């Protein structure tokens, strides 16, 4: 079954539904960071457009035909040379050939192949793909009516892990990294009428990649987020940042970046509800900075997640966004949100639906997860261990949940490989570029449980410097490891000097000690920084009841949480926790046939959506905290 998409440049969707992809088109503003959208060697434009959902776009989501290609015969010839580097550039599956006549030799056929829903991981869409790691080709057909003078971008919200993209049989380029958006400039490359796009998606794991071979989550492959064709005017707003200046409740700082034909233009930034209207003139590179004094505003907070309509207009383009304004800083061991000390009542979560296998599918799934966090009485979520979707972060803005955002620099990365570093750094900055206007995001995390060594320290320090140089208005952190010395739990890591938080994972009572003896442990934290515990937890099979000494029982998990709170009460600098984890999640590492069966059972909610006992332990702990930090 195939579906044809029509490019309806005149139709528009309500701008208020900024993160609901419209069936057809939507009009709004502009895009990307420091420079214009030049094309890089891999064919990508430098930065994806800021606020893609706020632009005129056509969705290419829907059912895509696919071919499973474990030997990659659609990519390599029999001498293992890529077809797309041959002199004609032809020969691969991206040609989407049909036999010309009965005599013609063609060994594939998209039209006769099955289809799957895009966006959507492939593992959850066919039984034989559940554990598949390799290449799959996906094809979509669509109609377009490109207009002279306009810019067109083919935008992918995320493809896991490596994508090669072809439009009408010609290669556009490639991208690595499974959780960040990328786009190709297809101006002048679209047919008036029918077009086809072919994506080679490959989720094989390699030691030198980010993440590396070893993780504790399901390696969902494919086009997991939206595919959109954006239409922009000849001069367009490529990027913008509109946020309060670091630690200043009375100044909005930011910039606008134009791209396209006439880069020097007047651009108006208006926030009508705050009585703000400011005009700047962009320089020859299309850039202008904002620095606007503001009176009292309704500052964004979990209790009052106020979002203002922010409009930018100039050079024939315009874009609207919904932006919250808040400051975030640390002072000694305090975390200050809008100048006031907060405790981060958090929970960790993966981008996965426990009820129906697969990554979260749209706003309904995302609301389910964040609503569970709200029920726990959370004001904060750790979106582990990789960038979650833009919709998720926008929803956190709307629902009033602070966010720890992270890149998959996880465990044992190839610390000395410069290409690995560039990849990690690109994933970090791509996430920051995408989410820099989201008030909910207060922490950029550069990684999780990376073991101390000289090459690792260098790699991670550089990442921390990059994060800080890219955005000085948020905190920079990492989930560090602890070390045990007798009953002492020591937090000491050379990387900590570069970070704003003393943040670490500790598995007292599970990976070391047990749910009772854990009470003998004491923390020795070497830093005068806010202490944020990024993980603790225990596996419990939902519905399995026993005494509190029996591993895998709900009672064991419950006691571990109770005792955890006892140990934590001796930590004066404690300013936040994100226990591991909101719901059970799938992981190929989890082998126990009865208790696990490919599930990590540390969820407070089981795979059938039922709350375990520890859910209520954490909820009531948070009720107490809320009284201390109203």
Contacting residues toward ligand GCB, per CB under 6 A: 216, 385, 448-449, 505, 535, 580, 600, 602
Q: How far is the CB of 579 from ligand GCB (least distance, A)?
A: 11
Q: How far is the CB of 26 from ligand GCB (least distance, A)?
A: 37
Q: How far is the CB of 62 from ligand GCB (least distance, A)?
A: 33
DSSP 500: S
Q: Between 30 and 600, name the residue whose CB sits nearer to ligand GCB.
A: 600
| Cα 194 to Cα 554: distance, rounded to the nearest angstrom | 56
> Are 310 and 318 in contact, with CB atoms under 8 Å apart?
no
Angle between helices 454-470 and 418-435 (to 10 degrees): 30
Q: Between 349 and 467, name the residue whose CB sits nearer to ligand GCB.
A: 349
Q: Between 370 and 538, name the residue whose CB sits nearer to ligand GCB.
A: 538
> Are 122 and 136 in contact, with CB atoms under 8 Å apart?
yes
Q: Between 449 and 493, name the residue whose CB sits nearer to ligand GCB.
A: 449
DSSP 5-54: ----TT----TT-TTS--SS--------SSS--PBPTTS-BSSPPTTGGG
Q: How far is the CB of 568 from ligand GCB (least distance, A)?
A: 17
Q: Between 215 and 265, name the residue whose CB sits nearer to ligand GCB.
A: 215
Query: In terms of Cα–Cα distance, which of 106, 181, 211 is closest to 587?
Result: 211
Cβ-proximal residue to ligand GCB, closest one: 216
Q: How far is the CB of 590 from ligand GCB (least distance, A)?
A: 8
- Return the exposure string of 177-209: e unless at least 16 CB atoms fall within 10 Å of the residue's CB, then b: bbbbbbbbbbbeebeeeebbbbbbbbbeeeeeb
Q: How far is the CB of 533 from ligand GCB (least distance, A)?
A: 12
Largest CA distance in the chain: 80
| Cα 100 to Cα 539: distance, rounded to the nearest angstrom | 58
Specify the 3-state DSSP secondary structure of 509.
Answer: coil
Burial (CB < 10 A; 0-12, 13-18, 19+), residue 104, is: exposed
Q: How far is the CB of 503 from ligand GCB (least distance, A)?
A: 12
Burial (CB < 10 A; 0-12, 13-18, 19+), residue 103, is: exposed
Q: Between 62 and 211, name the residue whose CB sits nearer to ligand GCB.
A: 211
Q: Between 353 and 448, name the residue whose CB sits nearer to ligand GCB.
A: 448
DSSP H/E element including 196: strand 193-202
Q: How far is the CB of 216 from ligand GCB (least distance, A)?
A: 4
Q: Between 121 and 535, name the residue whose CB sits nearer to ligand GCB.
A: 535
What end-to-end distance do the CA atoms of the chain give, in Å?
A: 55
């Amino acid at each position: 079954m195939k579906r044809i998409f029509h490019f309806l440049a005149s139709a528009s969707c309500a701008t208020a539904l900024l993160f609901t992809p419209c069936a057809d088109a939507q009009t709004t503003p502009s895009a990307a960071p420091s420079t214009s959208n030049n094309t890089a060697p891999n064919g990508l434009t430098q930065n994806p457009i800021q606020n893609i959902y706020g632009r005129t776009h056509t969705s290419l989501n829907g059912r895509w035909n696919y071919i499973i290609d474990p030997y990659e015969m659609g990519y390599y010839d029999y001498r293992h040379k890529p077809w797309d580097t041959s002199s004609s550039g032809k020969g691969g599956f991206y040609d989407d050939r049909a036999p010309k006549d009965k005599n013609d030799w063609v060994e594939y056929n998209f039209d006769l192949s099955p289809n799957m829903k895009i966006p959507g991981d492939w593992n959850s869409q066919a039984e034989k793909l559940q554990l598949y790691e390799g290449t799959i080709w996906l094809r979509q057909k669509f109609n377009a009516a490109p207009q002279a003078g306009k810019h067109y971008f083919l935008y992918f919200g995320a493809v896991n892990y490596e994508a090669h993209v072809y439009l009408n049989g010609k290669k556009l380029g490639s991208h690595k990294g499974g959780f960040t958006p990328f786009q190709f400039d297809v101006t002048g490359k679209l047919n008036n009428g029918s077009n086809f796009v072919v994506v080679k998606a490959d989720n094989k794991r390699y030691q030198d990649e980010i993440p590396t071979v070893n993780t504790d989550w399901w390696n969902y492959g494919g086009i997991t987020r939206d595919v959109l064709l954006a239409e922009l005017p000849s001069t367009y707003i490529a990027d913008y940042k509109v946020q309060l200046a670091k630690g200043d409740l009375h100044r909005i700082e930011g910039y606008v970046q134009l791209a396209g034909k006439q880069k020097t233009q007047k651009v108006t930034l208006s926030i009508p509800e705050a009585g703000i209207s400011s005009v700047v003139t962009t320089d020859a590179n299309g850039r202008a900075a904002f620095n606007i004094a503001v009176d009292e505003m309704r500052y964004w907070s979990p209790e009052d997640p106020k979002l203002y309509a922010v409009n930018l207009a100039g050079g024939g383009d315009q874009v609207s966004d919904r932006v919250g304004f808040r400051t975030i800083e640390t002072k000694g061991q305090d975390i200050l949100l809008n100048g006031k000390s907060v405790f981060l009542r958090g929970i960790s979560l993966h981008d996965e639906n426990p009820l129906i296998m697969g990554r979260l599918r749209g706003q309904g799934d995302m609301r389910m997860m964040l609503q569970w966090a709200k029920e726990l009485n959370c004001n904060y979520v750790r979106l582990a261990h990789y960038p979650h979707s833009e919709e998720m972060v926008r929803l956190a803005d709307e629902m009033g949940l602070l966010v720890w955002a992270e890149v998959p620099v996880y465990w044992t990365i190839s610390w000395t490989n410069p290409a690995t570093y560039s990849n990690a750094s690109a994933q970090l900055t791509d996430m920051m570029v995408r989410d820099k206007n989201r008030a909910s995001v207060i922490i950029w995390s550069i990684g999780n449980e990376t073991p101390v060594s000289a090459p690792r320290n260098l790699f991670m320090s550089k990442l921390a410097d990059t994060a800080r140089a890219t955005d000085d208005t948020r905190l920079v952190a990492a989930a560090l490891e602890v070390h045990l010395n007798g009953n002492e739990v020591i937090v000491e890591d050379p990387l900590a000097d570069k970070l704003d938080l003393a943040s670490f994972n500790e598995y007292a009572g599970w990976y070391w000690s047990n749910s009772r003896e854990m009470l003998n442990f004491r923390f020795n934290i070497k830093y005068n920084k806010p202490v944020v515990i990024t993980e603790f937890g225990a596996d419990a099979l939902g519905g399995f009841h026993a005494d509190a000494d029996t591993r895998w029982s709900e009672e064991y998990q419950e006691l571990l949480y109770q005792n955890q709170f006892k140990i934590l009460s001796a930590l004066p600098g404690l300013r936040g926790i994100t226990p591991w984890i909101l719901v059970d999640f799938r992981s190929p590492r989890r082998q126990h046939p009865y208790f696990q069966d490919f599930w990590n059972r540390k969820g407070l909610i089981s795979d059938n959506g039922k709350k375990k006992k520890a859910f209520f332990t954490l909820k009531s702990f948070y009720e107490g905290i809320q009284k201390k930090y109203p």
